[in-house]
Structure 1
């Protein structure tokens, strides 16, 4: 009888511990603006030109969508319903505003550089960025781990740069340091010079939605968790 009681106690402890661990799962999320078809297509084409010469790169497609980040952070997965509720109606504050792709951003003084389509820091976009942080601030965690991300298909670990970048997004990459952009990848500056001269064009557009994605390696938006009405 004593042994049975001990066995039952151990089973209950294991189940309770397992539930607690599941409840405490931390995920890395990106609250972002999705793009209209023409802007997304332009980003994918520029990314494709980069991939021809630099294949070890982010690959923009349906699984790694081009986007404009508003906030990256770690949160408890169990808090996602609360976060989604807070974001309801937020898209209405930006849906009719005109945004502008105004430059091909890269470091021209380097032989190789990360490139992106720069977005004008309009008043409405900056206000949305700040509002998003304000709404989610109670749920933002200091740290995550490898398991917080959509895992790489080839089994390689999530890069350390991404793991350490995400918790610093608010302190180091927001407000006056916020740089709205559409990531394209890393390339030789000579190629980027050519793309800037012959391929890149400024574009006006309206955001298609506000969405929440789980992040993958290199800060890519990979798993859709929620999308605005």
Structure 2
């Protein structure tokens, strides 16, 4: 049986540990019974001696620590850089005894596995899929620094030798914890069933020879997150969230089923619990906590691009069943420059407002709708069929005034333009074409959000829900949103004369809506050249 860790090296194959029933039986031989009787008396003597040493204070936690530099590497032929674990093989939690069989084909649980897998496919061209691919790497210190942003610091052999040692040794125990069940159940991986792309197609044959259930990566990621959260309790939320995302990466990568990941996490937690009965682990843990305290006191910075990681994680591991879309026209350079200049003035008045940038694109909305995510490609095709019949670059719109939508003490401000007949006709045709793929409403998950601002204002959700009946046709007012500002500032602005101007659309696209109804994420751009 090939070992999944083999995928990171060339050369000798590490044989997976095999399930040994003798490790899990209560049957004693006559010789063992005789030995047990002898141990009963000697055990009492040992307890007395231990009590004596505890009373006089001769038991030292420091004496239990790993002697750095003395622990052999965990199968050096693999090139992972991990050290041999704290636990003997018979001390590892027995995954075959602890977890249920994998879901059987045709069962509700297997149908759920299939559904979860399908809901990740839309992420394959996103940063979340890139992160899932990066999370595949198990070599140290890369694996350890997958948690660098969550920890808000870097862990190295030099700056925290006991912490690095602790994670290096625990790695091996966590990695081995799933093999008993893996070897027994021989479950196939999802890409072998669904035929969808996987993160590392060059590893396809190797992965096919490595059973899927439960996920070893998930045991590693979840167990490491639990240990780090104990060392850095002030970063618990961030570390647990990253550990969870690390395990979900296996699903996004199409390497593991949902149930593989769930029970992989279980084995990771079981192994960490067992490690807490190991005196050397506990002594190393205390040393690691002291090192982390020193790191914080002296200052340490995370490795990698934490902003990019946060943006990738914000996408989640499941594409929402519903997506809030905006089919829109993008302005020409003249209007774009004017909008950006106005937005800059708004930022001066209200610095907490949003800046017109790549995630807040200036645009003229044609329709906003909630659509089924699974039907997005059909939405694009339907919209493209309609848009290709119009020469949108010939449209001439006249901007004539400012207006704003009250939002508490603020106002969401826009430049309004007069609709023209061609624009109204384009809108009508788009509404009809997209209608078969729409739903009545959605939730915050339908929008593009950030980890810091995940909740969408219910006013915006309602606005998108009723956009077609209440803001189209005779009610349609083309507008370009330019920013947020306090109401007193806007009341004064609206009283000032507005200098009208004309503009033309440059192109058309479908965006996912974000906070304040902004065009936050481009989903599809249309080539409308005649």
Indicate the TM-score class for this superposition, using the shorter chain for normalisation: 0.7 to 0.9
Q: CA deviation at 1:21?
A: 5.5
Q: Distance in 2 between matches of 1:17 and 1:83?
A: 21
User: Unaligned 5+ residue runs, structure 2?
Assistant: 1-99, 121-318
TM-score (normalised: structure 2): 0.39
Q: How does 1:189-200 map to 2 (within 5 A)?
A: 191-192=489-490, 193-194=492-493, 197=496
CA spacing shift, 1:194–1:73, aligned 2, 3 Å? closer
**What is the CA-CA distance between 1:29 and the residue it aligns to?**
0.4
Q: 1:161 aligns with which of 459, 464, 469?
A: 459
Matched, 1:183 2:486: no
* SS of alignment partner, residue 427 of structure 2: helix
Task: Describe the shift of the 1:178–1:5 C-alpha distance in structure 2 as closer, same or farther (beyond 3 A).
Answer: same
Relative to structure 1, the CA distance from residue 177 to residue 154 in structure 2 (aligned partners, 3 Å threshold; closer, same or farther) is same
CA offset at residue 202 of structure 1? 2.4
Residue 93 of structure 1, CA deviation: 3.5
Determine whether 1:78 maps to 2:176.
Answer: no
Matched, 1:98 2:396: yes
| Mean CA deviation greater in 123-132 or 111-120 | 111-120
The CA RMSD measured in Å over matched residues stands at 2.8
Q: Residue 58 of structure 1: CA displacement?
A: 3.3
Q: 1:82/1:54 Cα in 2 relative to 1: closer, same or farther (>3 Å)?
A: same
Q: Secondary structure at the match of 1:116?
A: strand
Cα gap change, 1:17 to 1:44, in 2 (>3 Å) = same
The 2-side partners of 1:173 and 1:97 are apart by: 20
1:93-115 CA distances to partner (integer Å, 9 max, x unpaired)?
Answer: 422121221222248xxx96442
Q: Which residue number in structure 1 is paired with residue 110 of structure 2?
A: 12
1:32 pairs, out of 321, 325, 328, with 328
Q: CA deviation at 1:35?
A: 0.6
Partner of 1:133 in structure 2?
A: 431
Please give the alpha-carbon distance, in whole angstroms, between the structure 2 residues aligned to 1:205 and 1:155: 34
Q: CA deviation at 1:201?
A: 3.6
Q: Secondary structure of the equivalent of 1:8?
A: coil
Question: C-alpha distance in 2, partners of 1:6/1:15?
Answer: 10
Deviation at 1:190, TM superposition (A): 5.0
Q: For residues 7 and 65 of structure 1, what CA distance do their matches in structure 2 show? A: 45
What does residue 119 of structure 1 align with? 417
Match of 1:47 in 2: 343
Q: Which structure has more helix as a fraction of its residues?
A: 2
Give SS of 1:13's match. Answer: helix
Using the alignment, how far apart are the partners of 1:189 and 1:217 within structure 2? 19
SS state at 2:480 partner? strand
Are residues 5 and 103 of structure 1, via their aligned partners in 2, closer, same or farther at CA, if it must alter by over 3 Å?
closer
Over 3 Å counting, the alpha-carbon distance change for 1:113 and 1:154 in structure 2 is closer
- Where do 5+ consecutive residues of structure 1 fail to align? none
If you compute each CA radius of gyration, which structure gives the higher value, 1 or 2?
2
Q: Is the 8 A contact 2:320 2:446 kept in 1?
A: no
Greater strand share, structure number: 1
SS of the residue 2:481 aligns to: strand
Please report how far the alpha carbon of residue 78 of structure 1 lies from its aligned counterpart in structure 2 after TM superposition. Answer: 1.7
Partner of 1:57: 353
Moved more, 115-124 or 19-28: 19-28
Could you tell me which residue of structure 2 aligns to residue 225 of structure 1? Answer: 523
